[in-house]
């Protein structure tokens, strides 16, 4: 394993006495697509701005390719940033916008022309050199902002919610464009979003953040299927999070019913949190399920039906299924052992926020 391209070490940052990042450590490998994901105020944009040089940490170091760049200004770093507000110059043509950074570096004219053509081709906007910014759609402006960043040949592209202003269809199209660009360019992408689907679609690695701490870091599959705490389980996709008692290894009690699971090492008769995804619940006849209940809500979502099932304990289970069970029908809930995720209960709200960073 080589050294990481970017290494954030013990980063702390406060604004007006409020702690935004608390002893954060994060390593990013070269040529990966890393997404910082979390709710508003979790510290993800501040982390990106510290990497970009737009904010200085109160404590800690920013290491880039083995060198300490904590105090380097943004223009001295081998990276470029694409913001949600694309910051294009309306009085300039597309070509002039793209060439802006190259002209500042006094690159020769033929070099600049070649770079403009290359960048426009890369973002599928051949022949747009002489257009004005105001004539472009939101998606096209977003591509020009990316083209302007990549002509500078950064080793890292920082993207701060760049798709937030686009409509759903265009946003999905641009997600695939960004994946293609990352693969073609061979550069490292660090992407900030609060959109879970966006993170799951594009990332090699997702960093889930909350209250200035990293809650979990891993592949999209790992984050979704193996959440390490209730915050991650609740934030990534939809989940049923219920209290349980770990009776022994591979056996958990949920509302008085025994469920086989695959988790071990939680002890005997230990209170735990149990996560079960809606799509992992099978509705069966009442006598075949571990818990019986009645369907209280039904919505057709196109790909599946979304149902709520009330059980005698008063909990409403969220269920996604391609099979339809009408409101009022008595059903049983069955879950395969490997679809049950067991987590330790946090001892306090602070412990819940700290996650794995403590």
Taking a C-beta distance cutoff of 8 angstroms, is the pair 83, 96 a contact? no
Q: Could you tell me the two tokens for 205?
A: 């690695």
Per-residue pLDDT, averaged over 273-294, amounts to: 96
Instruction: Supply 187's token pair.
Output: 């550069």
Examine the pLDDT at 349 and tell me if it is beyond 70. no
Best CA proximity match to 35, nearest among 219, 215, 211: 219
pLDDT in tens, 37-78: 999 889 999 999 999 999 999 999 999 999 999 999 988 888
The angle that helices 109-122 and 94-104 make with each other, rounded to 10 degrees, is 130
pLDDT in tens, 211-222: 999 999 999 999
Q: Domains of the chain, with CATH numbers?
A: 6-225 (3.40.50.300), 238-357 (2.40.50.140)
What percent of the chain shows pLDDT beyond 70? 95
The reported pLDDT for the residue numbered 7 is 96
pTM of the model: 0.83
Q: Are 281 and 336 in contact (CB under 8 A)?
A: no
């Amino acid at each position: 394993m080589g050294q990481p391209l970017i290494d954030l070490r013990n980063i702390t940052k406060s604004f007006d006495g409020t702690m935004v990042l608390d002893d954060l450590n994060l390593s990013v490998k070269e040529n990966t697509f890393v997404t910082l994901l979390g709710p508003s105020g979790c510290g993800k944009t501040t982390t990106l701005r510290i990497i970009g040089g737009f904010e200085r940490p109160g404590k800690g170091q920013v290491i880039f390719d083995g060198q300490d760049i904590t105090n380097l200004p943004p223009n001295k770093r081998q990276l470029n940033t694409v913001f949600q507000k694309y910051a294009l110059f309306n009085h300039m043509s597309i070509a002039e916008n793209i060439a802006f950074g190259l002209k500042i570096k006094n690159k020769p004219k033929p070099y600049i022309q070649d770079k403009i053509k290359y960048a426009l081709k890369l973002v599928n906007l051949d022949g747009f050199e002489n257009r004005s910014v105001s004539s472009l759609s939101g998606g096209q402006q977003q591509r020009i902002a990316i083209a302007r960043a990549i002509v500078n040949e950064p080793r890292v592209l920082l993207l701060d919610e760049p798709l937030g202003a686009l409509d759903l269809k265009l946003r999905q199209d641009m997600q695939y464009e960004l994946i293609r660009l990352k693969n073609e360019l061979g550069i490292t992408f660090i992407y900030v979003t609060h959109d879970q689907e966006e993170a799951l679609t594009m990332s090699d690695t997702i960093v889930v953040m909350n209250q200035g701490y990293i809650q979990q870091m891993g592949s999209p599959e790992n984050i979704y299927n193996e959440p390490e705490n209730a915050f991650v389980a609740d934030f990534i996709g939809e989940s049923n999070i219920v209290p349980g008692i770990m009776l022994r290894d591979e056996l958990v009690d949920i509302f008085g019913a025994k469920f086989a699971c695959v988790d071990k090492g939680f002890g005997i008769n230990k209170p735990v949190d149990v996560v079960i995804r809606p799509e992992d619940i099978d509705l069966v006849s009442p006598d075949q399920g571990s818990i019986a209940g009645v369907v209280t809500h039904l919505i057709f979502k196109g790909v599946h039906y979304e149902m709520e099932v009330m059980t005698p304990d008063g909990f409403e289970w969220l269920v996604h299924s391609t099979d339809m069970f009408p409101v009022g029908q008595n059903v049983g809930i069955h879950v395969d052992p490997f679809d049950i995720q067991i987590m330790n209960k946090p001892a306090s709200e602070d412990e819940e926020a700290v996650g794995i960073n403590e």
